[in-house]
Structure 1
Amino acid sequence: MLQLSQRGVALPPSPYRKLTPFAESARQRGIIVHPLNIGQPDIETPPSMLEAVQRASIQVLEYSPTAGYPSYRRKLADYYQRLGLEVDSDDIIVTTGGSEAISFALLACLNPGDEFIVPEPFYGPYSAFAVATGTHVVPITARLEDNFALPPITEFEQKITPRTKAIMICSPNNPTGYVYSRAELEQLKELCLRHNLYLLSDEAYREFCYNTEYTSALNLRGADDHIVLLDTISKRYSACGARIGAIVTKNHALRDVFFKLAQLRVSPPGLGQLLAEAAADLPATYFDHTKTEYLARRDLMLRRLRAMPGVQVPTPSGAFYVICHLPVDDADRFAQWLLEEFSHYGQTLMISPASGFYATPGLGRQQVRLAYVVNQDIISKAMDCLEAALQQYPGREEKQRVAAAEVRETFG
C-alpha cells in the first residue's frame, strides 16, 4: 500500500476553514450563513489597484525578478520609511502572500528539530508551518482575563532550550486583537539578544490599531540582525486574493538565504505586484475610513456580546478579531451544531473554535474567534443568531448544571 508522508498526515486542519463543508451543506438547505469565521474583509479593494492591472499593456506575462519588481520594492521601502522604519529596497524580498514569508522565515532561521516560542492563542497556521518545516512550536499562554497581554518574560526564559532559535509574535494579534506595547517589544528584544534568538514579527494588521500606539519590531534599536518582519497587503488593502507579501530584514546574510528560497518558486505573482504597487501610491488618509468602520463594527460586536449572559470578551485594540468565552461545553461541538442543527429565522453563523489557535491541549475549549469583517447589518443579524443559539444549545453550561442537579436529586 502506498504510504503518505508523516508530515502530510500530521498537518492540522485550518481552524477557520475546517467547518466549511458544514456551512456549504447548510446553504444547500436554504440557510443563510453569516461568515464570522475568517478574516476576509468586505471593504472594497481600492479601485485604483484594480485599474492598474486593467491599464497594463501586457503581451506576455513573464516571470518577475526573484525578489520582486525593483519598482515595487522601492515603493514598499518608501511606505515603510513613512512609518518611521529604516528600510531600504535591498532589505525586501517580495513573497507570495504572508504565508510564504512565514515559511521562508522558519526555513532560513531554524533547522529541522529546532523550536520557536509563540504566545498563544496564535494564528492557527503557525502550527502547520512548523510541521511543514520540521520545526516545533513552544507555546506561552496569554490569558483572556489579562486581555491577552504578553505573558511575563520569565515564562519565556523558562522555555528556552538549546533547540530554541526564535520567538514569533503577531501584532496587532490574530486572533486576539492585542497590540504589543513598545515596552513589551523591548523586553522581547532584550531576551533575543541575551539568548541569540531571532525575533519574527508578523505585522499584517499594523494599519488597524484603535486608541493605542503601534510599534513595529523594526522600530527597536540595536537588534537589526535578529529581527525579521513578515508582511502582506492582504488585510491592509482588502486584497487577500492578490497573494503579495514581503519578508524584510537588515540582516543581509539572512536576506541572501531568503533570496535562494525565493528562487525555488522563481518569482512572486506579477499581476499581484501591479496591484500592490498601485496600493503603495494611496494617500495615508486611505485608512481613515477603513479604521473608522472597523472600530464601529468592533464596538457593535462587543456591545452585543457583553449583553449575552455568560459571555466574556476583552476589548481588542487592533486587527479585526475578538476571542470570547462562551457558556458552552465545547466550542467545536457548538460551532458544528450551529451549522447542522440550528437556525434562527432561516439564518445561522459560522465561527472559528479557538482550540485551533492554541498549541496546549485543552485550552480554548470554550472560546471562539469572531471576525468583524462584515458590515454592521450582518454583524447584528449574526449576533441575533448567536444570542438565540446560546439559549437553545443543549450543551449550555446552565443547562448542564441543571441536568446534573436533577440527576443528583433523583439518585441521591
Structure 2
Amino acid sequence: MKTGLLIGGSAALLLLTACMGGTAAPDKDAAAGWDPDAAVEITWWTGQTEEAEKVAERLAAEYHAAHPNVTIRTSSGAPTTDDLLTKLSAGFTGGNYPDISYAYGSWAGDLGAGGKTQDLTSYVQDPSFKWEEMPAAARQVATADGKVIGVPALVDNIALLYNPALFDKAGVAYPTDQWSWEDFRSAARKLTDPASNTYGTAYSVSGSEDTTWHLWPLLWQNGGQILDGNKPAFNSDAGVKALETLRQMAVDDKSMYLDQTDERYWRLFNSGRIAMMMSGPWSMLDAKEAKLNYAVVNLPGVDGDHQTVSGPDLWVLFDHADANRAGAARAFITWLTSSAVDVRWNLAVGNLPLRSTEKDTGEFAAYVKEYPGGQKFFDNLANAKQARPTVPGYEELSRNVGDAIAAVLQGRAQPKAALDAAAKKSESALVN
C-alpha cells in the first residue's frame, strides 16, 4: 500500500504522548466475561478509499445479518488513511475513539504505548485463530512492547518491478531473482537516456516513510539493524554502505529519478519513463489501470541475501472498559480475517491475501491471473524476515532518516555524516 508522510503527524504524536497511560487495565483481559448474545454496537474505522469502503460496508452488513445483536457502525474514519492517527489521538483525549481502526504498522509502537489498545496476545494464540497462517513479519508488527495490539489488515513487501519494453529498447538483459546491487546499478546506467528523460530507476526524496523504508532492505542485507535495544543503530558501517549504494546511482551515475512528492515516480514508471521501480503490490493496480506490460522479481541482494521489507497495516482493537464491545470487536475481526472472508476483502480490492492457506483458493488463482506479479509478491513474503521496530518514537526516527536519505541522494550530504546526525536527533524520541 502506498505509504506517505503522516499529515499532521507531529501534532498527532504529541496528542498521543499526552494521553499515554490511559484507563485500560494492563493485566485484565478487556473481553473477560463478555456475552456473545448481548446487544452491542461497535465502531469500525476502515481507513479505506471510497470503493473499498463500499466493500467494507457490505461485509459489515453481512456480519450483522448473521449476528443481529451486533451493530457495526462503519466509516472511513478520516479523509485519508494518513489522517487516522491524528483523528485517533484527538479521540483518545476526548474519549471518542472507535472499537476497531485501520492503522499503519509504523504507528504500532506509539499506539501500543497510548494505553487504549486491547491486549490480544492470548486471543490470537488460540488455535482456532490460526495466527501462524499470517506472515511472520506481519505478526511481529502487530506486537508492541511484547503485547499483540492488533491483527494484520494488509500484508505487502517491496520487490523490483520492471518494464521489459525499455530493456528491449536498450538491449539490456532482464533482471533476475539473483541480481546483486552491482547488477542493478549497471543496468540502471545503461537504461538511462537524458535525451528522452528516461531513467533506470527512481527513489522518493520527500523524507517520508516511503523514503525511509526503502533503505531498510539494503541495511539488513548488509548485516545491519535499525536499533540496538532502544538506541539507533542504522548509522553503522552497514547503514553507510547501504546508503552509499543509492548515492552512487543518484549522484555519480545520475541514473535515479528523485521524486520530491512520493506520487510522481510510479506515474513515470507507468508511462514508460522509468525502467525499474522498487515498490509493492499496490503498484500492480496502478500498472493495470495504465495498461502497462511489466514483470516482477526479487529485490537485488548482497551475497545472495535478498531480504525485503514488509509494511503490514493493522486492525487495531481498542478498550472501552466494556467486555461486550471488546469481545464483539474480536469476534468480528476473527471473521473478517478468516480465509473464507479475506478472499472477498483483500483479494477483491487487489491486495495480497492475509493467510497462507488462501493460495489454494480459486479467488487467489483469479487474482494472480488479473495481476501479473501477484504470485511473485506472495512468494516474496518469505524474504520479509525482519520488521520495522514497533517502539514509541519510530515515526520521528523515520522522519529523521528520511531527511538524511534525501540530503544524500540530492548531493547535499555524505552517508556517514547524514546518518550520524539522524541517529543523534532520534535518540531522545526512543527513550521510554
In which range does the TM-score fall when normalised by the shorter chain? under 0.3
Q: TM-score, normalised by structure 2?
A: 0.27
Q: TM-score, normalised by structure 1?
A: 0.28
